[in-house]
Structure 1
Amino acid sequence: MALISSTTIITSISLFHLTLAYFFLFRPKTIEDQALVFVLGESMDIPAVRGFDVPSPALALLAVILAFSGISDLVSLSMPEEFSSLYYWGTQAPLRFFLSMLLVAYSYAFGPSSPLFSSSSSSSSTRRPTHSYKASGSGADHLHNRLLFSFMFVEMMAWFWTWITLREERSAIVEKMRKQHEREAHSH
């Protein structure tokens, strides 16, 4: 049995989303100045994000989306445990983990500080350049920053933890359902 239940983890993630929504709406600079964002960004050599000094329409939209996500996840926890744990969160957790992992990989591997676009040394005296980074001019260029990387990294870890916990809880829920079904069968 897991030390912390999947319901507690999902509640924490939902409250994290609601908290981020508040800060994106009213004080976005607070998020950019977080130590975790700085440490992860510096360790991975990912550029800092610009435009978080004051609230903006894009940040307000992000806040609304995060608030909707947090509230809908909290409401979904009120579903019956058998349905919620086995079916809804049993599919949501791995999907959210996978999507978060893709965004973490994309924001790191295809940005200006990517090891794919740096030059490598084949020997001590010669350096042969590999492909150089060229911005595409699209909105996808703005996904290569330490704030997105940090957020998606935390999401990835949280949803992986949720997924593993749900798998551990699955057998107990199935056993509980089986016993309930047997009781109902004997009572009729």
Structure 2
Amino acid sequence: MSERLGHKETAVLLVLMTLARPVSNPELKDIVGYPLDGKERRRLNELGLVDSALAPKRFFVHELTDSGWKWAADELAAGTPPPPAARSTFVPAFYLFMGAVDRYLRRENVSLGEVFTSDVELTPEQIEQRVRAGYLKLVRAPGGWVSLVDLRAALGAVNRADVDSVLKEMSRTQQANLVPESNRKALTDRHHEAAIRVGGEDNHLISIEAS
């Protein structure tokens, strides 16, 4: 990257790295005091560091891309200076500390992804938010169908039973539609494993209504 990112962009990327999951603008505002919007969002999207999707409630949900994870690893490397306009004296100390962490990870051959992982105990509301964010990231057209295989992968390490409970409730309240795959020959072991049983049959696809 030809130039350093600003302190606001850097802070958002480090939050996304630490939480290791999709994060909404309201949640970002609670954590760092501001959302990822406007020119900062466009820049991080254009650089390929962050994927942003517009949630049904009209706020953005953001997640690090593979390039974003690489940026984070490079950013925390020993000797990296703090970003421009970092006003707090805490920031240089943080970068010095993370440089030491980087040296340890390199010595032990451990990746950032192994250190920063998603939390697994979530409320139903938090799980639904993740389901909606994951669906928006995967769907190609409004109201389109997404494979449960892909959706579950997008959710990360979340308890399977808790996810199934939320999906069934969304189906019951008609916020989501769950249907079987019509082409049974296209189903693999992964599709069968990811399926959810509703109405006496296994369902492999989901469509979520905008709220």
Structure number with higher helix proportion: 1
**TM-score normalised by L of structure 1:** 0.26
Structure number with higher strand proportion: 2
**TM-score normalised by L of structure 2:** 0.24
Structure with greater Cα Rg: 1
